[in-house]
């Protein structure tokens, strides 16, 4: 018992140490990002160790510089935001249109080859995306789609569909079969059942799924780099930031503002999705 007491004391203290260190390590880079985005560049170079906020020095000019169009002497991130937003929203819409019937089939219908399909969708992830990138690069060059947002969206949809099917399948499989049987007795065919019964029931899962796909598309970098790098007007925010960060012309504080702009939508979406996910799991379908 004595040794147990000692161990409890040690690990009880250690626990708080671990929590403290982890919070600092995860939050500090984001705090640093926001702080630097609001600080004039000469202040950063003079006193790089300063982590405090002094209200007098804060500047919003970095954000102005980032968002102003290139023609007006800024970095033109407003149009990059539009590009990223369009690609991400299109990816979400197309992926869901494809994944809902697909995941319903894999999750709820017994058909020939169902297990193999499920395996195929998982096996996709064994292959590095750089391997896919080469033939797609060749194909899009030939088809003249390289440099266009349409080509990029197609690739993102293909990347997101297997994950989306996998996530939705698990949710749909958990819905009670009695609901569908009731719909069938009421005269619904499969398509009507999916449209009128399954989709409304799966709405929270669909929403969480949509947000997750949005995150994948918004954060993606490799394909944007390969396909769009020569065509500045169609850059995404990620690509724009990476390209400018490689150079020395743009001040680091301005790029920090760009990082904040890139990160904020994702953080907002994440906290919205976290709530939605838990709500989706707690609301029972059979209760009502």
Partner 1 sequence: MSAVTARSAAPASERRRPLTLKQRENRTGLGFLSPTLIVVLAVVVVPILWTILLSFQEIRLINVRSAGVFGNYTLENFTTVFTSPGFWGSLLTTIVYTVGATTLSISIGLAAALALRAPFRGRALVRGAMLLPYIAPVVAVSFVWEVMLSPQFGIVNTFGTNVLGWDAPIAFLSQRESTVHLFGLELPVPVALLTVIAFEGWRYFPFAFLFIMARLQGVSRDVEEASLVDGATLTQRFRHVLLPQLMPVIALLSVLRFILTFNKFDDIYLLTGGGAGTDVISVRVYDFLTSRFDIGAASAQALILAVFLIIGVGVYLRFFAPKAEEGTL
Give the footprint of partner 1 on residues 31-60 (CB under 8 A): 32-33, 36, 44-45, 48-49, 51
By CB under 8 A, name the one of 274, 279, 281, 283 that touches partner 1: 274
| Min separation Cβ 283 and partner 1, Å | 19
| Min separation Cβ 233 and partner 1, Å | 19
| Min separation Cβ 221 and partner 1, Å | 5
Phi–psi pair at 208, nearest 5 degrees: -60, -40
The reply on whether position 119 binds partner 1 by CB under 8 A is no
The reply on whether position 23 binds partner 1 by CB under 8 A is yes
By CB under 8 A, name the one of 87, 90, 152, 155 that touches partner 1: 155
The reply on whether position 114 binds partner 1 by CB under 8 A is yes
Q: Which stretch binds partner 1 (CB under 8 A): 56-64, 69-77, 85-93, 96-104?
A: 96-104
By CB under 8 A, name the one of 75, 76, 102, 228 that touches partner 1: 102
| Min separation Cβ 70 and partner 1, Å | 19
Q: How many residues bind partner 1 (CB under 8 A)?
A: 93
Q: Are 173 and 108 in contact (CB under 8 A)?
A: yes
Residues within window 166-185 making contact with partner 1, judged by CB under 8 A: none
Sequence-ordered list of residues with C-beta below 8 angstroms from that of 121, at least 6 positions apart, any chain: 106, 162, 165, 166
By CB under 8 A, name the one of 188, 207, 263, 277 that touches partner 1: 263
Residues within window 195-234 making contact with partner 1, judged by CB under 8 A: 215, 218-219, 221-222, 226
By CB under 8 A, name the one of 55, 71, 126, 185 that touches partner 1: 126
By CB under 8 A, name the one of 69, 170, 186, 271 that touches partner 1: 271
Q: How many CB atoms lie within 10 A of CB 190?
A: 16
| Min separation Cβ 279 and partner 1, Å | 15
Q: How far apart are CA 251 and CA 258, in angstroms?
A: 11
The reply on whether position 89 binds partner 1 by CB under 8 A is no
């Amino acid at each position: 018992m004595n040794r147990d007491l000692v161990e409890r004391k040690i690990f009880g203290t250690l626990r708080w140490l671990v929590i403290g260190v982890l919070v600092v390590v995860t939050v500090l880079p984001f705090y640093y990002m926001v702080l630097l985005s609001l600080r004039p560049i000469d202040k950063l170079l003079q006193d790089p160790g300063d982590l405090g906020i002094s209200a007098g020095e804060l500047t919003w000019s970095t954000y102005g510089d980032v968002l102003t169009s290139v023609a007006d002497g800024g970095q033109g991130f407003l149009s990059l935001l539009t590009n990223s937003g369009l690609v991400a929203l299109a990816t979400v819409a197309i992926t869901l249109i494809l994944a809902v019937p697909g995941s319903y089939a894999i999750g709820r219908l017994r058909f020939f080859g169902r297990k193999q399909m499920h395996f195929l969708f998982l096996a996709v992830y064994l292959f590095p995306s750089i391997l896919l990138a080469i033939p797609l690069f060749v194909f899009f060059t030939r088809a003249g789609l390289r440099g266009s947002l349409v080509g990029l969206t197609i690739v993102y949809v293909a990347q997101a569909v297997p994950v989306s099917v996998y996530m939705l399948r698990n949710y749909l499989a958990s819905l009670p079969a009695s609901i569908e049987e009731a719909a069938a007795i009421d005269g619904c065919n499969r398509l009507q059942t999916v449209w009128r019964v399954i989709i409304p029931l799966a709405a929270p899962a669909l929403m969480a799924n949509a947000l997750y796909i949005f995150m994948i598309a918004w954060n993606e970098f490799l394909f944007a780099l390969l396909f769009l790098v020569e065509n500045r007007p169609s850059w995404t925010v990620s690509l724009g930031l990476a390209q400018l960060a490689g150079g020395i012309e743009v001040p680091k504080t301005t790029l920090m503002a760009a990082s904040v702009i890139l990160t904020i939508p994702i953080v907002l979406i994440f906290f919205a999705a976290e709530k939605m996910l838990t709500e989706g799991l707690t609301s029972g379908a059979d209760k009502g």
